[in-house]
């Protein structure tokens, strides 16, 4: 019988990967996190540091100039960056989100055209699925792609697009057959430089302020047939398969920010003295700390299992991707909130990082499918007989 732990336990190479990422994050990412949040500016220093070390898009296969990191290694990168700065973790996370549709469905020619610049750090890649009236109900999108000569003309608005304006490329989902609902949606690669592409003002957000979130406007944007990802009508299926994989990266963000908050709180409670002793000596606080550590490790193990299933493309990935994202993000919100509580009044101020971590953690319960939607996904998988035990 094979050792079950080998399905997801990080190898020595994975742990070496973690050490390398953490070293860079401690030196180049964490020192800028507060300023990036305060000024709501793109974390250029983080991007430069990650790009120099090839951690900005580690998932891209070697044949396209990438590192070829497996799903678990990619999770570890995102986890470690999020531990230092969640805004910065959206660089590798969204590069995977934007390019995953190509890795799943695109022609070899298209992959060879647009993936190498991302691997080289010359461009980032965003994902355009949501619209003003189509969030959880993505099949209700109204962005249209109509035949025009030897290509397609795209018209519409995409909302809540992470790193919009900064990314050089965008995976855009649009309706090509209005009568077919989800089966009438196709996926395209749009370049920032394409005529007719423009962006709205950055959203004023609660957290992840260093990662710009904008609307993307498509006004008579022409793309050739060579920019079509897969066959016409397969876009919605590609979008859902993508999210099965990338929800694991949101779980990684969640455990990263939770770890950062726990680390800081542990240091604080051992230094802070009240009633003549460190507050870490009080049993009530010890119970809080124990629960934080226990839930975080449970979330991490579930996330690593989901990453292994993503790498293998297991049949029950949909369930595990949703479960990891949902559980880890709920845990992250709880741990970061408890970290603020452990710091008391200090935790409520911007002089300490835990209030930023609490604000940043909230988005992990919302994007790439709200946790209410994740529970629907999980329930349907269970009712269909997955996962198999």
Paired tokens of 336: 């970061």
Q: Which of 94, 63, 107, 108 is nearest to 161 (CA)?
A: 94
Question: Which member of 166, 311, 355, 368 is catalytic?
Answer: 368
Any idea which residue has 């570890």 for tokens? 76
- Return d(Cα 194, Cα 154) in angstroms, integer: 11
Concatenated DSSP letters of 311-342: HHT-TTHHHHHHHHHHHHHHHHHHHHHHHHHH
Give backbone dihedrals phi and psi of 214, rounded to 5 degrees, phi first. Answer: -135, 165
- Return d(Cα 325, Cα 365) in angstroms, integer: 8
- Return d(Cα 22, Cα 13) in angstroms, integer: 14
355 is catalytic: no
The set of residues, in sequence order, having a beta carbon less than 8 Å from that of 282 and lying 6+ positions away, is none
User: Cα Rg for the chain, rounded, in angstroms?
Assistant: 21
- Return d(Cα 250, Cα 63) in angstroms, integer: 26
Q: Decide: 128 and 170 in contact? Cβ < 8 Å.
A: yes
Q: Catalytic positions, please?
A: 368
């Amino acid at each position: 019988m094979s050792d079950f732990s080998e399905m997801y336990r990080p190898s020595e190479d994975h742990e070496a990967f973690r050490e390398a990422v953490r070293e860079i994050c401690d030196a180049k990412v964490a020192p800028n996190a507060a300023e990036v949040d305060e000024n709501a500016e793109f974390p250029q220093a983080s991007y430069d540091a990650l790009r120099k070390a090839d951690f900005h898009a580690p998932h891209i296969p070697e044949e396209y100039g990438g590192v070829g990191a497996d799903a678990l290694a990619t999770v570890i990168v995102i986890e470690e960056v999020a531990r230092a700065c969640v805004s910065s973790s959206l660089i590798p996370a969204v590069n995977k989100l934007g390019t995953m549709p190509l890795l799943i469905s695109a022609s070899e020619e298209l992959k060879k055209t647009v993936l190498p610049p991302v691997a080289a750090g010359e461009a980032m890649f965003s994902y355009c699925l949501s619209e003003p009236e189509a969030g959880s109900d993505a099949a209700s999108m109204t962005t249209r792609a109509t035949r025009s000569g030897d290509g397609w003309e795209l018209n519409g608005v995409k909302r809540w697009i992470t790193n919009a304006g900064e990314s050089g490329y965008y995976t855009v989902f649009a309706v090509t057959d209005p009568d077919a609902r989800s089966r009438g949606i196709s996926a395209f690669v749009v370049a920032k430089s394409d005529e007719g592409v423009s962006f709205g003002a950055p959203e004023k957000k609660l957290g992840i302020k260093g990662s710009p979130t904008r609307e993307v406007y498509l006004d008579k944007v022409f793309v050739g047939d060579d920019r079509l990802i897969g066959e016409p009508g397969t876009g919605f299926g590609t979008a859902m398969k993508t999210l099965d994989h990338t929800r694991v990266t949101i779980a990684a963000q969640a455990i990263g920010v939770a770890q950062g908050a726990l680390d800081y709180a542990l240091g604080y409670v051992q230094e802070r003295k009240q009633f003549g002793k460190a507050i870490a000596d009080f049993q009530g606080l010890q119970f809080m700390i124990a629960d934080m550590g226990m839930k975080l490790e449970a979330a991490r193990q579930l996330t690593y299992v989901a990453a292994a299933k993503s790498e293998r493309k297991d049949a029950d990935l949909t369930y595990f991707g949703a479960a990891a994202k949902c559980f880890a993000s709920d845990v992250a919100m709880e741990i970061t909130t408890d970290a603020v509580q452990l710091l008391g009044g200090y935790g409520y101020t911007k002089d300490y990082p835990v209030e930023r971590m609490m604000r940043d953690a909230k988005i992990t319960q919302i994007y790439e499918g709200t946790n209410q939607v994740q529970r629907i996904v999980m329930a349907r998988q269970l009712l269909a007989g997955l996962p198999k035990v």
